[in-house]
Amino acid sequence: MPQPDSGFLLEVAESAAREGGKRLEMLFRRGKLSIRRKYDYAGSIVTNADLESEKLILSRIRRSGVKSTVVSEEAGRIRFGSRDVTWAVDPLDGTLNFAKRIPHFAVSIGVRVGRRTVAGAIYDPILEEMFTARRGGGAFLNGKRIRASNATALRNSALIFEWWEPEPSILDPLGLEKRLYKYTRSLRSPGSIALNLCSVASGRFDGLITVFPKSPVYEVAAGSLIVEEAGGRITNSLGGSWESLSRSIIAGGPRLHQRLLSFLGL
């Protein structure tokens, strides 16, 4: 059976992200919040908002009729009849921000056919910003084309740096962060991987480094494609394909990205 085209998959991802995001906004502004600890890494939490958003997203994907598999941060792996299409779902990226009532969080949905990401949608319900991309079709914010920064020098750049655990290429993330502070105009840790990637894709930040041993597909699939389609470059910390989901994520405009890799000694 032929697979749905990327345009239809993006349409489903976008509508699912919007549904989940609207529920998050309602709970953020008026809802009662319950929080429990997770054990995937130190300080990790999950809220009722994560679960309610996820429920709506899974329902929308099921209604689409696409035979697929879902990999979602909270529900794990769910089979909807096929492994050919995978929905990489983060129903609430920036959970700690949400729990602390910081209005910086999003829904992220990437769509992969085989091991290749073909579409992605990230929705920020507070700012009502929908970032979208499909492979070969460019990247957009609320329907308008976006492009990554053309910055060339670290000295004048604004970067995002966040880390969870060290990995073989970056054994001392805190030491790397201190070094970056010396060579950049600004270094921030906003707290949402998906929105961080969108900030690079739209030129709000010039580049980013996010350190973890293995890139979580539900957090990086949509945003990494959006960066690529915005003309940016994104790799793992070895300079290899981010689609391998191994090691950290390095992103920026083409020239700044190379400078970031050089800063890592690559």
> Based on the domain organization, do 60 and 173 belong to the same domain?
no
Q: 160 and 123 in one domain?
A: no
1 domain-assigned: no
Number of structural domains, the chain? 2
The tens-digit pLDDT sequence of the chain (266 residues) is: 566 789 999 999 999 999 999 999 999 998 788 888 765 655 678 889 999 999 999 999 999 999 999 999 888 999 998 889 999 999 999 999 999 999 999 999 999 999 899 999 999 999 999 999 999 999 999 999 999 999 999 998 999 999 988 999 999 999 999 999 888 988 999 999 999 999 999 999 999 999 999 989 999 999 999 999 999 999 999 999 999 999 999 999 999 999 999 988 75
Q: What CATH number does residue 140 fall under?
A: 3.30.540.10
Same-domain status, 117 and 217? no
Whether residue 114 lies inside any domain: the answer is: yes
Concatenate the DSSP letters of all residues of the chain into one string. Answer: -PPPPHHHHHHHHHHHHHHHHHHHHHHHHH----EEE-SSSTT-EEEHHHHHHHHHHHHHHHHHT--EEEEETTTEEEEEEEEEEEEEEEEEE-HHHHHTT-S--EEEEEEEETTEEEEEEEEETTTTEEEEEETTS-EEETTEE--------GGG-EEEEEESS-BTTBS-HHHHHHHHHHHSSEEE--S-HHHHHHHHHTTSSSEEEEE-SB--HHHHHHHHHHHHHTT-EEEETTSSBGGG-BS-EEEESHHHHHHHHHHTT-
| CATH code, domain with 253 | 3.40.190.80
Domain region containing 176? 154-263
Both 105 and 195 in one domain: the answer is no
Q: Is residue 181 part of a domain?
A: yes
Domain boundary at 145, 170, 191, which?
145
